[in-house]
Structure 1
């Protein structure tokens, strides 16, 4: 089984080695190889919800555009939230007292490592609220504050009519969604063109998320 350390040894950072950046097509092939290796090395935790295929999303998927309301109360399109940034997305609800705090701690750890990612594109985190009746802007602000979210970590909630459609699109599965308490603890990584490129296992490792974000941000 391929490990993250083996991937790092075979893919040195061109920015630190002084090598010239590869052509775009070569960089894209390197990205696909890197992310496929991560998919092979992924170990699934017990499943909390439906999932489709884990790892590299082939072909990449563009989600239907959806209006969300962010923690400031501003109404924003999903495409605008994702555009020109490499983004890790998680689904949470602010009233959760079991799994969601673990997800918040996970993104807090990823946030601490973002400055270490050598990137051509900005990297950000997005927590998507899946309980529109409770995940108001003030609740999202309090949730972000609880985990010391900085400027590169935002939260937003879609309308009630759009929540299930968005969850299904993220998961890549047509299986029943089930109760909100059994929501996915996966992380979904998008490139700067707002295309979904990677789905993690449940509660993935910080290192895996950062490796994928770094690979996407260098292309």
Structure 2
């Protein structure tokens, strides 16, 4: 085969591979910005009146047992639900929190700001799995991961959502972010995969109160 023809065929193969990759990325992005019809949602935006979740025992990435409301009282908190075996939207959620983490020094005011990734698959979201998940996104000390007991997962997901609609399985979990004030009160529910700027604006407002 002439060298020119080989070169041309190689360029075509590269273009087709690149096009397939771009199509896959576009499909993932479309899924990220489109509302999930299967995800359980309550009201979006400001939570009025604010809600305190029932206290629940969590195990964090270091293996330490911590009560949810004690953890939330350590500062203004943005909470997301993830599971470490997820290969679809959870990496996007991790990237979102990673971007917010970079902005934390800019949004601290009267209260510290922290991030909490809540594992919703206790059978797999062990402390080593949580540590590996945090390391994947270069989480710093203001970003914690923790998992409740299996018997508490669904109750927590319902309380966070504020909805009475039936829960889907964990693969259909919400990608909303839930923001708590420093008194452990739920004050704001985002849309799915909110913009970094919007999330930082809410955290800034809560940290100033």
| TM interval, short-chain normalised | 0.7 to 0.9
Show structure 1 runs of 4+ deviating over 3 A.
none
Aligned-partner SS, 2:163: coil
Provide the alpha-carbon RMSD of the alignment: 0.9
Query: Is the 1:67–1:76 Cα contact (8 Å) retained in structure 2?
Result: yes
Query: Residue 137 of structure 1 is aligned with which of 118, 123, 127?
Result: 127
Matched, 1:64 2:59: no
Map 1:1-219 onto structure 2 (within 5 A).
45-47=34-36, 48-219=38-209
User: What TM-score comes out, normalization by structure 1 length?
Assistant: 0.79
Aligned-partner SS, 1:135: coil
Larger radius of gyration: 2
Gaps of 5+ in 1: 1-43
Query: Is the 1:190–1:196 Cα contact (8 Å) retained in structure 2?
Result: yes
Give CA-to-partner distance per residue, 1:71-96, whole Å, 9 cap, x none.
00001000111014000000000000
Deviation at 1:113, TM superposition (A): 0.4
Gaps of 5+ in 2: 1-32
In structure 2, what is the Cα distance between the partners aligned to 1:172 and 1:215? 22
In structure 2, what is the Cα distance between the partners aligned to 1:62 and 1:46? 26
Q: Say how many residue pairs are matched.
A: 176
In structure 2, what is the Cα distance between the partners aligned to 1:69 and 1:215? 29
Give CA-to-partner distance per residue, 1:125-153, whole Å, 9 cap, x none.
00000000000000000000000000000
Give CA-to-partner distance per residue, 1:44-91, whole Å, 9 cap, x none.
841251100000000000000000000000010001110140000000
